[in-house]
Amino acid sequence: MPHIERILCPVDFSEFSETAYEYAQSLACHYNATLYLLHVMDSLEPYRCCYAFPEGYDEALLGMRAAAQQQLQEFAETHSQHLVKPRCTVIDGVATDLILHFAEQREVSLIVMGTHGARGFDRLVLGAVTDKVLRKARRPVVAVRKPEHDVVTPGDGSDGIHLQRIVYCTDFSACSDEALEHAVSIAEEYQAELTLLHVVEGVAATELENEITKVRERLERLIPPRAHGATKSVALIGKPYQQIVGLALESRADLVIMGVRGRNAADLALLGSTTERVVQLGPCPVLVVHASKNETAKKGV
């Protein structure tokens, strides 16, 4: 069972970063994890400022770093709701590369980031940085958009985000098995209801009833004995992404968890069309779990 020990939350000070930080804090609190708050400064900005006076570049860069560090500290102080104190870091360069490098260097267990950036991308288009991190990261990534319903614990709100309903999607592959471990772990931590979902597609009408029965039996076998009281299995028919998004909406899910296959050329180009569409169109954050190195090696990808 995976244990989340270190969490990375990249921020750009947008409202989407604020929402992502709420989730990162909650997870850090529940798992007693170290929380890294990272801001990547645009490395081209000093050049723009000093284009006419290039000799002032170093001074401008130092000033911008200091200002960004102060802004990050203020962001942490303003938006922190738990006893967890984040470790704040500012670096300058190419955001995607530095986020991935930071995650590998610190051996983080989880990356949590908003799906839209400061410049305001259309709802159907992922923010460029988050999009690339989702495709390239070797670590699980939670892509956070502001959910369509309230997930704050009733009462004084001191516990911040509280996940009550989790939807785990499986195609019964090895990468789905890895995602299940995360789903069970998070459901246990939050004492959340866990729904196991498989969508049947491309089956002849004459075979549908038999296929649905087999799928339900397979899903039931995936449920850990200790989780039966708060867990249910669902088999649906249709386009996977449509059924996943529909179930997440209908059940008011707080988190969708999905596995994606290895990091071959097709995966990097598409991320997995179902996963990509659920991240883009879903009503709540999505935890994307990539297949481990060992699994991808077995598959020869």
* Residue corresponding to tokens 């400064």: 41
**Residue range 188-209: average pLDDT?**
91
What is the reported pLDDT for 296?
A: 43
Domain that holds residue 279: 165-299
Q: In the chain, what percentage of residues exceed pLDDT 90?
A: 50
Q: Could you tell me if 288 and 275 are in contact, meaning their C-beta atoms sit under 8 angstroms apart?
A: yes
Is 172 within a domain? yes
Instruction: Indicate if the pLDDT at residue 189 is higher than 70.
Output: yes
Instruction: Indicate if the pLDDT at residue 220 is higher than 60.
Output: yes
Query: Which band of pLDDT confidence, cut at 50, 70 and 90, is reported for residue 105?
Result: very high
Domain limit, last residue, from 144, 179, 204: 144
Q: Are residues 135 and 207 in the same domain?
A: no
Task: Report the predicted TM-score, pTM, of the whole model to 2 decimal places.
Answer: 0.85
Q: Where is mean pLDDT largest: 47-56, 122-131, 272-281?
A: 272-281
**Residue range 256-280: average pLDDT?**
70
Residues 104 and 120: their CA atoms lie apart, in Å, by 28
Instruction: Indicate if the pLDDT at residue 242 is higher than 80.
Output: yes
Q: Are residues 171 and 293 in the same domain?
A: yes
Is 81 within a domain? yes
Residues 113 and 130: their CA atoms lie apart, in Å, by 7
Instruction: Indicate if the pLDDT at residue 270 is higher than 50.
Output: no
Domain limit, last residue, from 113, 144, 175: 144
Is 205 within a domain? yes
Instruction: Indicate if the pLDDT at residue 298 is higher than 90.
Output: no
Q: Are residues 189 and 117 in the same domain?
A: no
Is 154 within a domain? no
What is the reported pLDDT for 227?
A: 61
- What single string gives the DSSP state of each residue in 260-298? E---SHHHHHHS-HHHHHHHHH-SS-EEEEEPPHHHHHH
Please enumerate in sequence order all residues whose Cβ is within 8 A of that of 50, keeping only pairs 6 or more positions apart, or say none: 56, 57, 60
Q: Could you tell me if 230 and 174 are in contact, meaning their C-beta atoms sit under 8 angstroms apart?
A: no
**CATH number of domain containing 75:** 3.40.50.620
State phi, psi for 174 to the nearest 5 degrees. -60, -40
Helices (H) and strands (E) in the chain, counts: 11, 10
Q: Are residues 93 and 223 in the same domain?
A: no
Is 38 within a domain? yes
Please enumerate in sequence order all residues whose Cβ is within 8 A of that of 253, keeping only pairs 6 or more positions apart, or say none: 165, 166, 167, 195, 247, 283, 284
Any idea which of 122-126, 218-222, 235-239, 255-259 has the lowest mean pLDDT?
122-126
Residues 85 and 190: their CA atoms lie apart, in Å, by 21
Beta-strand relationship, 286-290 and 141-144: antiparallel
Residue 290: exposure state from Cβ atoms within 10 A (0-12, 13-18, ≥19):
buried
Count of domains for the chain: 2
